[in-house]
Structure 1
Amino acid sequence: MQFNWSGAAQSLPFLLEGLKITLLIAVFGLIFGFIVGLIAGLGRTSRNKAIYGLATVYVEMIRGTPILVQALWLYFGLNQMLVQTVGWRIPGDIAGIIVIAINAGAYIAEIVRGSIQSVEKGQEEAGRSLGLTRFQTFVHIIYPQAFKRMIPPLGNQFIISLKDTSLLSVISVGELMRNGQEVVASSFNALEIYTMVAAMYLLLTLTLSFLLKRIERRLDVHHDRSPKSAQVVRPARGA
């Protein structure tokens, strides 16, 4: 069996173009996904039954269906309805960002909920005893601690969502996987091209993992999980 690596190398610029689209979709999708997840996560901790119910329905519905089905439903199903009603359709790249944002948001919501609820209840009681409102207690005491605890699972979710962009090839988004498929279809160098595609994904995930570990060390995330973290806030004497 002969390998045509020189021929595969000629397709590198086309693959890099797809890599750029992959990164754009992943970055914007995760930015919006974090916003959606933060809102839904706070909703999952709300004492308002309506807000809690809406957030729960969203999280369970998205987590209970594959991202591939969500992409197909949005790009083909929803677009068909939009074309018939308003004569407009969602472009593939925008659809990809929406899919990543909605899917990642549901998992980020659970990360947010779990991190907030992991902060000791005594922290809220201490803040209130200092005269802070519930909102001030959350912003200045609860959320800073919870955010540190979100970082490791958020990093895992970011890596998962980055790899999930490869599934967007089914809706004709010109990302890395889709461009790799087009090259294989024209050159028949499947082993060489898919090896290059896999290497690019691996390089991205290893780089992201390295950066996340640096951030964790800088913020001293694991130390924050120690029992001493419960002593961050204490009511003043005589409060």
Structure 2
Amino acid sequence: MKDFLNAFYVTFIFENRWRFFYQGFLMTILLTLTSFLFGSLLGALFCKIKMSEHRLIRRIVSCLVSFFIQIPTLVLLMFLVYIIFKSVPLSVVVIVIFGLTLKAAAYLSEIFYTAINSVNKGEVEAAETLGLSRIQTFFYVILPQSVDMALPVYKNQFIITLQETSIVGYLAIIDLTRASDIVTARTLNAMFGLVAISILYLILGWVGNGILTLISRRKHLEGDEIK
């Protein structure tokens, strides 16, 4: 018991090492939320363009999406930090958010595209026959069904984005994983640090999934149904 308490003290209390975990926790939240939010918006744009009638534009966007999906996340981030934006006066954090956003957008555009194309074409034609405009058809027929189909995979992508932030320590950003590495290097005891960040990652994942599950309920998407 004495050894346990001593290891806990050395890991978190001595020299205020808990601040590394606090700083890493905030950074992980920042990277995850911003890149996932912007990735959702950019992914929706990519999806819209992929459904465009202009063949050349569709091809270009499809190639970009494929590129961002295939290239490893760390390689993409290093390419952006050390080559593309090497001479640009931007914070590494901003560049990393941009890279993670591109990565998330590529996956999310495929999720959105697949969900929209899964909607029964007969229902779309029926809506148009009833006189609904293209916008009305999208919001009242296509969107509700697409959301139901895409949400389970959409929630999984949130977890993937959260997990991908764990590599930013290679770029001198102190996230949760990097914080654990720093403390472990000083204490030579990895157990408490790894347990702590594992719990924090689990909490972030559960909270994120819980919020998205709440949003998925029809009353939060469409309001109370008229009875």
Same fold (TM over 0.5): yes
The 8 Å contact of residues 96 and 165 in structure 1, kept in 2 or not, is answered as: no
* Equivalence for 1:219: 218
Which SS does the other structure have where 2:71 is aligned? coil
Q: Does 1:8 align with 2:11?
A: yes
The 8 Å contact of residues 166 and 178 in structure 1, kept in 2 or not, is answered as: yes
Which SS does the other structure have where 1:46 is aligned? coil
Q: If the length of structure 2 is used for normalisation, what is the TM-score?
A: 0.86
Percent identity, aligned pairs only? 28
* Equivalence for 2:158: 158
Shift in Å, 1:183: 1.7
Q: If the length of structure 1 is used for normalisation, what is the TM-score?
A: 0.82
Shift in Å, 1:112: 0.4
* Equivalence for 1:141: 141
The 8 Å contact of residues 18 and 179 in structure 1, kept in 2 or not, is answered as: yes
* Equivalence for 2:42: 36
> Aligned partner of 2:75: which letter?
V
The 8 Å contact of residues 42 and 112 in structure 1, kept in 2 or not, is answered as: no
> Aligned partner of 1:144: which letter?
P
> Aligned partner of 2:115: which letter?
S
CA RMSD of aligned residues (A): 2.0
1:60-209 → structure 2 map (5 Å cutoff): 60-80=66-86, 83=87, 88-209=88-209
Shift in Å, 1:56: 0.6
Which SS does the other structure have where 1:145 is aligned? helix
Gaps of 5+ in 1: 221-239
Question: Which deviations, in whole Å up to 9, do the C-alpha atoms of 1:54-108 show, x marking residues without a partner?
Answer: 221111101111111111111111122xx1xxxx333111112112110000000
Aligned residues between the structures = 213
The 8 Å contact of residues 75 and 90 in structure 1, kept in 2 or not, is answered as: no
Shift in Å, 1:199: 1.8
Shift in Å, 1:219: 2.7
Which SS does the other structure have where 1:89 is aligned? coil
> Aligned partner of 1:198: which letter?
S
The 8 Å contact of residues 127 and 137 in structure 1, kept in 2 or not, is answered as: yes
Shift in Å, 1:155: 0.6
* Equivalence for 1:47: 53
Which SS does the other structure have where 1:200 is aligned? helix
Runs of 4+ displaced beyond 4 Å:
none
Q: Does 1:19 align with 2:25?
A: yes
CA–CA separation in structure 2 for the residues paired with 1:187 and 1:92: 28
